[in-house]
Structure 1
């Protein structure tokens, strides 16, 4: 099979298109023929080996990448299953969050990390969902505990996670305000935001409004400023922040969470990579998608041969919604 292999840390040019052997599924794994994948910050952080503090902590390889083939999301068809797999058979259309291996024509995925593909989505659309929507679901439902009548602010509402967070909060009955740049105001309003704040015109931490939940994806304001827009018992959910070579965005998220024990609001962060409920969350998302309450927003689609270009485009941070890659027919 063809795959883009990461041999060293660096720019998207360090990914090389190689011929590799087709993987064999383990006892609890499913072999998927990849029809589409998507690109996200997780991929280029792994590609760059940044923040470098994580190399020292062991989350990344110290000198060389731990992950050879990037690609955290896939949508495709089951080709073969391990002997302990009970829910899938060859030919089933699925989508999954294997966290690595998606930048290839085939990938093995543990059964606990995939689910049937939403019937009303194409493969490209389905590939846009797992990591971004899974992160948004954890932020909105589990950490934010969003319910009917809540006032929710999403900072970074036009990105991959943000576009899902806006829709999910709206689906759970909240009144949603989105923060984004001027070129994406209409987009954020179109996906369900009741109000939209253009960050070039207004500082959302000084608009005089109070919210029950702040989903902070952009990480553009310090934690103390974010907390002042919350009600006394509100929730601040830190998802990401501005990238840096050594510590950020991890430092920004950790500084927010560290203040949690000393303030009245609930403060938490989202870790979708280590979530043990991936299958359950994908099934929940499938239901919301098939009910028409949530749909992926796709900024741009690239062919498989241009994966380095797709990663470079996503890394610039200007994509509205998701960047997807068509792998095979």
Structure 2
């Protein structure tokens, strides 16, 4: 996110949360910085809500998957986060627009998914008019709009890459998280028979998202399940390809959504009976963002909101994400 100095009087300021070092939630600091000014083709959005997701906490804590720490530091900052303002998704209202902008007008409600560019843990965010931003559909509130994209775009990416089709069967490992609950909902919407794993306290929640069968992974070893699946969507690193092969039908796909470098390299070759592993970063496509908003407006997809924190309480939102027990999304309300 760019903060440009303006000539003349002191520029307006905004507040943003900075992670200037790697570490626990205590490294976060609320600071005042210059309010961005939109240039031609840009819009300035006043953030009403954002989220703290697994990506945010991984970057803040420098907690990258096995084999990815060096690559993660090279990409995101060796000694500290290169982009200190975290946050990948938001909902808000257009404050001002730059010259030539025709798609958006001041006052319009929008939702956006800057994704890997981050920067949404702030009162204002600059976005390109042609970027990952769309009008918030009528009937979708700001808190829901802010939570649409992180889990939703990941689920759409892997359903697409895995060629998941109507009539197939899918096992979702970790059905209560932001990505897992999106996989359950969007898989069911695609006509898939969904089995999902979760802890005992989340069984009913996952059922409400549409899972046909829900398994308590504490009491049942899913690797010994009698059923065979066309697809296994692993959102929590609960399995590896070798174990997954025993549960896959011939030609089945193991979606290593939370995969490490090992899974990315392993995805280059097939297993026996045409079984294969699919891994890698999720897509950040405007088409997916718009589709998630459309489905939310129809009531066919709704991210589960676990807890809502005030903007001034951002470290507590990170601490909750750190527990690994959040259900769906942790939302931070920035403005009324």
Do the structures match in fold with TM over 0.5? yes
Counterpart of 1:74 (choices 82, 90, 110) is 90
- The 3-state SS of whatever aligns with 1:20 is strand
- State the shift of 1:25 in Å: 2.3
- State the shift of 1:237 in Å: 1.1
Tell me whether 1:271 sits opposite 2:281 in the alignment: yes
Alignment of 1:1-329 (within 5 A): 1-51=14-64, 52-56=69-73, 58-99=74-115, 100-111=118-129, 112-140=131-159, 142-240=160-258, 250-251=260-261, 253-254=263-264, 256-260=266-270, 264-272=274-282, 275-277=283-285, 279-329=286-336
- Structure 1, unaligned runs of 5 or more: 241-248
- The 3-state SS of whatever aligns with 1:318 is coil
- State the shift of 1:236 in Å: 1.3
- State the shift of 1:84 in Å: 4.4
Residues 23/171 of structure 1: CA separation in 2 closer, same or farther (3 Å cut): same
Contact 1:28–1:85 under 8 Å retained in 2: yes
Corresponding residue of 2:10 = none
- Structure 2, unaligned runs of 5 or more: 1-13
2:331 and 2:266 map into 1 onto residues whose CA distance is 31
- The 3-state SS of whatever aligns with 1:91 is coil
2:223 and 2:41 map into 1 onto residues whose CA distance is 48
- State the shift of 1:206 in Å: 1.4
1:55 and 1:196 map into 2 onto residues whose CA distance is 34
Alignment RMSD, CA only? 1.7
- State the shift of 1:303 in Å: 0.4
Q: Normalized against structure 2, the TM-score is what?
A: 0.89
- State the shift of 1:88 in Å: 1.1
- State the shift of 1:258 in Å: 4.8
- State the shift of 1:118 in Å: 2.8
Q: Normalized against structure 1, the TM-score is what?
A: 0.91
- State the shift of 1:254 in Å: 2.9
- State the shift of 1:95 in Å: 0.6
Aligned residues: 316
Contact 2:264–2:278 under 8 Å retained in 1: no
2:72 and 2:151 map into 1 onto residues whose CA distance is 24
- State the shift of 1:290 in Å: 1.5
- State the shift of 1:85 in Å: 3.2
